[in-house]
């Protein structure tokens, strides 16, 4: 029973966004589509322990959800209209082109369509991102809240209101036209990157990495690059994700413990992904007059992978790139990363000045990496008691078990009068 349930949960993680997208195309309501997809998973939990897992569990779930959708249509429409609707639905394959949009893709277009629907201009920017992370990324409300550095009730309310707004506005379920693409593109890019970040550094749970989320984000990003080949920021985001993903194998040790960038075995980096990332960055640079935030972050990532050893890293260039990115985004998280680069280029005291200013501003008071970075800089300055307190504070804030262990180890090293070894 436990093995079957685990298998069902694994299938749901893989197939949920495709099922929701396909059902949304039938019922024209993402909230209702999510409910019908969840009805299908409940049916699987009831039947599969006795009948066994089907050969194609994703197709079973899609068929079951479709039957539930058809039943719903039957209840709400006249017999004549119901036959017309079923005829239109059943005649088309699940992966057929949606509508007449010139941007429609072939394989995988349902998921991408769902992203653009969830990022419709009728919704606020925050609601678009939260809804897409929930429906496409299959992130929990808590994970989304932590990604946004906000509360769980706030995110839950955003998602509920977003679904209601889409239903009330009777949004057409198709890929946007060329004119509409740019208006929704920034939200879609933000969603893809947040999904990727959750995979790179899980906000909660027992594992440091969630590679399936990284894979999903990369796959959707590559699809989007094919959809919008002349958009530099799309290529910038793909470049950033390819380069970041190239380090995945080196980011954890044998028992799953985190290994920070400067301590990683660079021979374990994936050089195929690095080449793909640098090629995507070159496309972004060719298309852009001035680099946008994702392309700038890709440039930063490229600085690291071009260095054969940590000592060869061009920290002055990194500090300058972070300065440009900080001015462009006005993000306190970017400013925190700039503090690290400045510390490496010009000394820990210079970096600590930036961190102290962020602490006074209070914009990152719920972000555990602020005291973590502060602890690292204090340790490098020999202020080990203060560093230990900062690391303990960071450990108490994180919800990820692996990260908590790492921070507690660093606090213990400082308490024993030893500079952190990480």
Residue 36 and residue 69: Cα distance in Å, rounded? 7
For residue 419, name the pLDDT band (cuts at 50, 70, 90): low
Residue 388 pLDDT: 96
Residue 159 lies in a domain: no
Does the pLDDT value for residue 107 go beyond 60? no
Does the pLDDT value for residue 104 go beyond 60? no
Residue 26 and residue 81: Cα distance in Å, rounded? 14
Single out the residue of 139, 268, 154, 274 nearest to residue 210, CA to CA.
139
233-290 pLDDT, tens digit per residue, is 999 999 999 999 999 999 988 888 889 899 999 999 999 999 999 999 999 999 987 8
Q: Residue 154: left (phi > 0), alpha (psi -120 to 50), or beta?
A: alpha
Q: With the C-alpha atoms ordered 133, 135, 138, 144, is the resulting torsion angle positive or negative? A: positive
187-198 pLDDT, tens digit per residue, is 889 889 988 988
Residue 236 and residue 265: Cα distance in Å, rounded? 26
Give the CATH number for residue 57: 1.10.1740
379-400 pLDDT, tens digit per residue, is 999 999 999 999 999 999 998 8
Residue 121 lies in a domain: no
Residue 179 pLDDT: 72
For residue 212, name the pLDDT band (cuts at 50, 70, 90): confident
Structural domain range at position 32: 2-91
Residue 242 and residue 278: Cα distance in Å, rounded? 8
Residue 134 lies in a domain: no
The percentage of residues in the chain with a pLDDT greater than 70, rounded to a whole number, is: 87
0.75 exceeded by the pTM? Answer: no
Residue 8 lies in a domain: yes
Residue 27 lies in a domain: yes
Residue 25 lies in a domain: yes
Number of independent structural domains in the chain? 1
Residue 83 pLDDT: 42
For residue 421, name the pLDDT band (cuts at 50, 70, 90): low
Residue 97 or 333, more confident: 333
- Helix (H) / strand (E) containing 400: strand 399-400
């Amino acid at each position: 029973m436990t093995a079957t349930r685990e298998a069902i949960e694994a299938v749901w993680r893989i197939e949920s966004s495709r099922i929701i997208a396909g059902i949304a195309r039938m019922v024209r309501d993402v909230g209702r589509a999510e409910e019908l997809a969840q009805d299908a998973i409940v049916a699987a939990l009831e039947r599969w322990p006795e009948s066994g897992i089907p050969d194609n569990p994703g197709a079973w779930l899609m068929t079951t959800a479709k039957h539930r959708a058809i039943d719903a249509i039957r209840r709400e429409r006249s017999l004549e209209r119901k036959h017309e609707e079923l005829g239109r639905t059943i005649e088309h394959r699940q992966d057929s082109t949606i509508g007449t949009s010139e941007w429609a893709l072939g394989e995988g277009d349902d998921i991408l369509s769902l992203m653009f629907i969830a990022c419709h201009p009728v919704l606020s920017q925050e609601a678009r991102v939260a809804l897409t992370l929930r429906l496409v990324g299959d992130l929990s409300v808590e994970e989304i809240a932590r990604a946004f550095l906000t509360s769980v009730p706030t995110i839950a309310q955003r998602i509920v209101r977003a679904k209601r707004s889409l239903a009330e506005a009777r949004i057409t379920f198709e890929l946007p036209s060329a004119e509409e693409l740019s208006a929704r593109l920034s939200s879609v890019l933000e969603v893809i990157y947040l999904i990727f970040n959750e995979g790179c550094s899980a906000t909660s749970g027992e594992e440091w990495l969630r590679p399936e989320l990284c894979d999903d984000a990369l796959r959707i990003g590559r699809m989007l690059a094919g959809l919008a080949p002349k958009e530099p920021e799309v290529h910038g985001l793909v470049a950033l994700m390819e380069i970041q993903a190239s380090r995945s194998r080196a980011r954890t040790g044998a028992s799953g413990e985190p290994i920070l960038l400067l301590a990683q075995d660079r021979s374990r980096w994936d050089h195929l992904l690095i080449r793909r990332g640098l090629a995507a960055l070159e496309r972004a640079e060719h298309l852009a007059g001035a680099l946008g935030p994702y392309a700038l972050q890709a440039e930063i990532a490229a600085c690291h992978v071009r260095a054969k050893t940590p000592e060869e890293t061009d920290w002055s260039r990194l500090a300058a790139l972070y300065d440009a990115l900080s001015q462009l985004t006005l993000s306190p998280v970017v400013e925190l990363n700039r503090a690290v680069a400045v510390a490496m280029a010009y000394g820990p005291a210079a970096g600590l000045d930036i961190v102290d200013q962020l602490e006074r501003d209070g914009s990152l008071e719920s972000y555990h990496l602020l005291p973590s970075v502060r602890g690292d800089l204090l340790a490098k300055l020999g202020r080990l008691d203060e560093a230990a307190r900062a690391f303990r504070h960071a450990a108490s804030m994180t919800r990820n078990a692996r990260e908590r262990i790492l921070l507690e180890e660093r606090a213990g090293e400082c308490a024993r009068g030893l500079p952190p070894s990480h």
